[in-house]
Amino acid sequence: MEPPFLLADLDRAPLPPTAQKPGVRVAVAARPRETAGDFDVLLTGTPDPPRPWVGCADPYATARQLREIVAAHTDACLALVQVLRMGRSLSPSDRLVVESLAYSTLQAGPDFRAWLAAKRPHADRPTDEPVQLLRDGALLTIALNRPAVHNAFDAASRDALCEALEVAVADPTITRVHLRGKGLSFCSGGDLAEFGTSPDPARAHRVRMLRSPAALLQRCTAEVTAHLHGACVGAGIELAALADRVTATPDTLIRLPEIGMGLIPGAGGTASLPERIGPERTAYLALTGAPVDGAKALDWGLADEIDAAPAAGGRRWRTTSRSRTSTQSTSSETT
């Protein structure tokens, strides 16, 4: 069976693909041109093209690569582009709901279950203080604190981050929030030791709605600056992109790997990244899993400035009060 992949060469046939046939819609052209939002990904051979286009050395080869990805992970790819299309007309909070519903559906699918069965075991690595706080007048600094695992995002980290962000939302005297990661990376994404450990995708969706750092960040976006460095994978960029301002060090490396697992971004990425780089470039990053360095992040708008300052560390921090024991009963689902 042919994969649901529709390719339009705009240099030869500038007609958009039919909307009546579902599929991932990709367009290629030698030079960028105006489109009416008919395509999920737009590829061109022109270097550094304007949004929503993606510049490629060989756009036709990239299109073939995308076709192979769609063939290998059909359900996830279709869910991704459908969620991104729907997001254009949804409120920010509703985008998170739609993303979570699609994510939960894919968790029950054969592609994710096959990935789960094939992945190597990862030992559980609990941390007593997964998030630390530092208050300095009107400034609240929140630091992810699992440096030994590049701040891999587990359920305890999620719940502690929610608790910290609830402080920022509830306290009107806090006018600025800095979000950082301690150690070599801002956040390396969901902790693989916990991926897929919830047997009930419906319950996992409910937990994501009740304990959502993304939803809290949407409520205090104007106050937040996220400071990226090192690995910013999955949740590590999905949450950061919700901040009003994002800085990135030159060693920043951004990636969305979920399609290769049979999933879509699940920490808010289909809501946050399109606001910064558009749904087409978001689809490209999610479908390909292509890495983005600090310079490209600045060029595309994932970052607002390059910052060579070191990561957070060496100061006295106050930890959030929620312990790992209290969070385990909530859910082990992260991204």
| 207 touches 224 (CB < 8 A) | no
Question: Residue 152 has what pLDDT?
Answer: 94
Q: Domain for residue 189, yes or no?
A: yes
> In a 3-state reduction of DSSP, which class is residue 194?
coil
d(CA 228, CA 245): 11
Please tell me whether the peptide bond between 52 and the residue prior to it is cis, using omega within 30 degrees of 0.
yes
The closest alpha carbon to 245, from 289, 307, 295, belongs to 307
Same domain, 109 and 222: yes
Question: Residue 309 has what pLDDT?
Answer: 62
Q: Domain for residue 313, yes or no?
A: yes
- The pLDDT tens digits for 67-107 are 999 999 999 999 999 999 999 999 999 999 999 999 999 99
- The pLDDT tens digits for 260-272 are 999 999 999 999 9
Same domain, 126 and 215: yes
Please give the backbone phi and psi of residue 269, each rounded to the nearest 5 degrees, phi first.
Answer: -65, -35
Residue-averaged pLDDT of the chain: 88
CA distances in angstroms from 98 to 82, 85, 123, listed in the order given: 10, 11, 32
Domain stops at, among 43, 72, 101: 72
Q: Domain for residue 335, yes or no?
A: no
Q: Domain for residue 77, yes or no?
A: no
Q: pLDDT-derived band of residue 178, with 50, 70 and 90 as boundaries?
A: very high
Same domain, 291 and 321: yes
In sequence order, what are the residues at sequence separation of 6 or more whose Cβ sits closer than 8 angstroms to the Cβ of residue 13?
Answer: none
Same domain, 173 and 286: yes
Domain of 242: which CATH number? 3.90.226.10
Compute the average pLDDT of residues 208-218: 94
| pLDDT of residue 196 exceeding 60 | yes
Same domain, 212 and 182: yes
Q: Domain for residue 79, yes or no?
A: no
Compute the average pLDDT of residues 237-245: 97
Q: Which residues pair with 135 in a beta bridge?
A: 140
Question: Residue 330 has what pLDDT?
Answer: 33
The closest alpha carbon to 23, from 42, 1, 41, 5, belongs to 5
| 226 touches 268 (CB < 8 A) | no
Same domain, 171 and 320: yes
Domain stops at, among 72, 102, 124: 72
Question: Residue 193 has what pLDDT?
Answer: 80
Same domain, 167 and 268: yes
* Residue range of the domain that includes 317: 91-328
Same domain, 204 and 105: yes
| Helix, strand, coil percent values for the chain (each to nearest 5) | 40, 20, 40
Question: Residue 16 has what pLDDT?
Answer: 59
Same domain, 279 and 209: yes
| 229 touches 306 (CB < 8 A) | no
d(CA 163, CA 76): 31
16-20, 243-247, 282-286: segment of lowest average pLDDT: 16-20
Q: pLDDT-derived band of residue 204, with 50, 70 and 90 as boundaries?
A: confident
Q: Which helix (H) or strand (E) holds 116?
A: helix 110-118
- 75, HSE (Cβ side, Cα atoms, 13 Å): 15
Q: pLDDT-derived band of residue 158, with 50, 70 and 90 as boundaries?
A: very high
Kindly report the CA angle at 114 between 67 and 256, in degrees rounded to 5?
Answer: 55
55-64, 169-178, 324-333: segment of lowest average pLDDT: 324-333
Question: Residue 15 has what pLDDT?
Answer: 58
Question: Residue 282 has what pLDDT?
Answer: 98
Share of the chain above pLDDT 90, in %: 74
- The pLDDT tens digits for 16-47 are 555 556 899 999 999 998 887 789 999 999 99
Three-state SS string over 135-173 comes to EECCEEEEEECCHHHCCCECHHHHHHHHHHHHHHHHCCC
Compute the average pLDDT of residues 198-203: 83
Please tell me the pTM assigned to this model: 0.90
Same domain, 9 and 131: no
Domain stops at, among 72, 102, 131: 72
Domains: count for the chain: 2
Q: Domain for residue 81, yes or no?
A: no
In the chain, beta strands by DSSP E: 5-9, 24-29, 41-44, 54-55, 131-136, 139-144, 176-181, 224-228, 231-233, 245-248, 253-255, 292-293, 305-306, 318-319
39-53, 61-75, 106-120, 297-311: segment of lowest average pLDDT: 297-311
- The pLDDT tens digits for 225-234 are 999 999 999 9
Q: Domain for residue 225, yes or no?
A: yes
The closest alpha carbon to 3, from 62, 83, 84, 69, belongs to 69
Same domain, 222 and 139: yes
Q: Domain for residue 245, yes or no?
A: yes
> In a 3-state reduction of DSSP, which class is residue 106?
helix
Same domain, 54 and 104: no
